[in-house]
Amino acid sequence: MFELPSVLDGPALLDKAFGRAAKATATGPDRVARARNLAAARVKVAGLAIESTLRGVVKGFPSLGRLPPFYRELVDLLVDEGQLKKHLGAADWAADRSATIARDYRRRIGRAEGKSIGELRQEAYGRLSSVVKQVAPDLDALIQARRALRKIPQIDPDVPTIVVAGYPNVGKSSFVRAVSTGRPKIADYPSERRRWRPARSRP
Ligand SMILES: Nc1nc2c(ncn2[C@@H]2O[C@H](COP(=O)(O)OP(=O)(O)OP(=O)(O)O)[C@@H](O)[C@H]2O)c(=O)[nH]1
Ligand SMILES: [Mg+2]
Q: In this predicted model, which residue has the larger pLDDT, 66 or 111?
A: 111
**Whether pLDDT at 101 is above 70:** yes
Q: Give the separation between CA 162 and CA 170, rounded to whole angstroms.
A: 17
For residues 134-145, average pLDDT: 96
Q: Report whether residue 3 contacts ligand 1, using a CB cutoff of 6 Å.
A: no
Per-domain boundaries in the chain: 10-150, 162-195
Q: In this predicted model, which residue has the larger pLDDT, 202 or 83?
A: 83
Best residue among 163, 169, 177 to mutate for probing ligand 1's pocket (most ligand atoms within 8 Å of CB) is: 169
* pTM to 2 decimal places: 0.71
CATH of 10-150 among 3.40.50.2000, 1.10.645.10, 3.30.465.10, 1.20.120.1190: 1.20.120.1190
Q: Give the separation between CA 112 and CA 29, rounded to whole angstroms.
A: 16
> Contact, 4 vs 75, CB < 8 A?
no
**Whether pLDDT at 192 is above 70:** no
Q: Give the separation between CA 44 and CA 98, rounded to whole angstroms.
A: 10
